[in-house]
Structure 1
């Protein structure tokens, strides 16, 4: 029994703004005993799944923290799965996918899908004998055992001036606990849900010195460090940062909270695994 998580994207909604290597927008792939779960699906995510050594066609469980385009290019992934089912060799797992997103964002997805596929009429699944997907509305406190031995819990967070429905996720297995904040400012729900996590993947979209709790809805490295320290987290990844601050400066700022655990400024391809 094992769990592995791969950072398929540690970047933001734009590139070319800051020095440093190219980083793709968010996506985190979990391999739990050869069962795949994806948190956030930015553009081109299927290629990055393949680059990590996996078959995107076998991905069946996708969780969206929120539906900003750099996190939720979900129509493209669904179309890729559909066409794979139509044209590819028959393979168990290719024929379906579940997409979980905040209940307040479901209607917007349905309208978008109809815009992409007007030829399907009112059907969401227009080749039901080949491929079916399910849109699962969820909210904070929702919880499910997605795979035997792996439970995921959603919790509400703060983003887009509080106007954008957004979620974080806590994944629990006997091998370890992973928490992904999604995009958020620092709020009480984070402290309640990161407690004693083995790995905390924290949004670090605010620059050093510009951290504030009442802003748009991102954290800075000092806030991420404080969250990890108070939650007694074992390992912290700082992700979704633009790149204006040097990694060493980000680490130093996060350490000011007193956090003494493992700390990494995430880059694409970073891996964490336990068995």
Structure 2
């Protein structure tokens, strides 16, 4: 299971329909939060995600609409009796932000909150996957993140194994785990009965940014690219001035990277009544695109190729 839940999809200003930026990934029950705008804890409650298994909050940058939900989320965890530590990872000065939040929540917590400052290219290794910090381009120091699962073994060919004289049972399992077996005086190696390795899943989340070569490279073959798509192409000059991305620019990047699916988020409040211009601009360049809405859930499936 790998589910992406869009808790907040607004641009710099929230609207009645859109909360500030926050994206939650549920991987096999492990929760990873990317940005934490104001009201994120309430959005988690509405999405019925739980929050006690959340151990890391990844911040793209320190603008208020991406971090102001952290104190309230930590306080709710404290009220619920949390004891396990929480890590807040982000660009330089994340330690200062965590210290400030500590002052706001003075004495109310019984669990440690740790700061982890990252640079582009830093990789956090987890069980079965890794998260890489990706260089982005915004008006203050910023990062995107690439979640990349480990490569999976190929499919086991039972017919081929039986033809080689291997009896069903423990020897099948040993081959599937990468070990050779001895049968009938010969050695059977895993590559004789296993198909080619299969890719894990890849999700890229950019936060606020201009299109960058680093994001494009990280997004190569991504199952899901979640990109800043704040403005339509008619506002390209304003997007460049404010260090955001138009829908068409994000779609062209997704097309060049060979991403499988694009979701645009951080939607400007000027599109509160109609996101059609964003969708139209993006679809000129990339067909598999949608505009994120609050509480949208996307299940990212495993694939063989």
TM-score strictly above 0.5: yes
For structure 2, the residue ranges without an aligned partner over 5 or more in a row are 150-198
For structure 1, the residue ranges without an aligned partner over 5 or more in a row are 87-93, 121-125
Structure 2 equivalent of residue 250 of structure 1 = 278
Structure 1 equivalent of residue 180 of structure 2 = none
1:79 aligns with 2:67: no
Q: Secondary structure at the match of 2:241?
A: coil
Structure 1 equivalent of residue 120 of structure 2 = 140
Q: Secondary structure at the match of 1:47?
A: helix
What CA distance in whole angstroms lies between the structure 2 residues aligned with 1:83 and 1:136?
24
What CA distance in whole angstroms lies between the structure 1 residues aligned with 2:219 and 2:296?
20
CA contact (8 A) 2:201 2:223 kept: yes
CA contact (8 A) 1:85 1:95 kept: no
Alpha-carbon offset, residue 57 of structure 1: 2.4
Specify which of 173, 190, 193 is matched with residue 215 of structure 2: 190
Structure 2 equivalent of residue 90 of structure 1 = none
Taking structure 1 as the reference length, the TM-score comes to 0.83
Structure 2 equivalent of residue 156 of structure 1 = 135
201-210 or 65-74: which moved more? 201-210
CA contact (8 A) 2:209 2:244 kept: yes
1:168 aligns with 2:144: yes
Alpha-carbon offset, residue 80 of structure 1: 2.5
Change (3 A) 1:208 1:100: same
Instruction: Find the structure with the greater CA-based Rg.
Output: 2
What CA distance in whole angstroms lies between the structure 2 residues aligned with 1:44 and 1:109?
18
What CA distance in whole angstroms lies between the structure 1 residues aligned with 2:251 and 2:141?
25
CA contact (8 A) 1:205 1:241 kept: yes
71-80 or 229-238: which moved more? 71-80
What CA distance in whole angstroms lies between the structure 1 residues aligned with 2:40 and 2:128?
26
What CA distance in whole angstroms lies between the structure 2 residues aligned with 1:72 and 1:113?
10
Specify which of 92, 95, 101 is matched with residue 84 of structure 2: 95
- 4+ residue stretches of structure 1 with deviation over 4 A? none
What CA distance in whole angstroms lies between the structure 1 residues aligned with 2:17 and 2:270?
13
What CA distance in whole angstroms lies between the structure 1 residues aligned with 2:131 and 2:117?
14
What CA distance in whole angstroms lies between the structure 2 residues aligned with 1:49 and 1:214?
32
47-56 or 28-37: which moved more? 47-56
Specify which of 195, 205, 213 is matched with residue 230 of structure 2: 205
Q: How does 1:1-275 map to 2 (within 5 A)?
A: 2-16=1-15, 22-73=17-68, 74-85=70-81, 94-102=83-91, 104-113=92-101, 115-117=103-105, 130-146=110-126, 148-160=127-139, 164-173=140-149, 174-212=199-237, 214-245=240-271, 246-257=274-285, 259-260=286-287, 262-273=288-299, 274-275=301-302
Q: Secondary structure at the match of 1:15?
A: coil
What CA distance in whole angstroms lies between the structure 1 residues aligned with 2:222 and 2:230?
21
What CA distance in whole angstroms lies between the structure 2 residues aligned with 1:222 and 1:156?
21
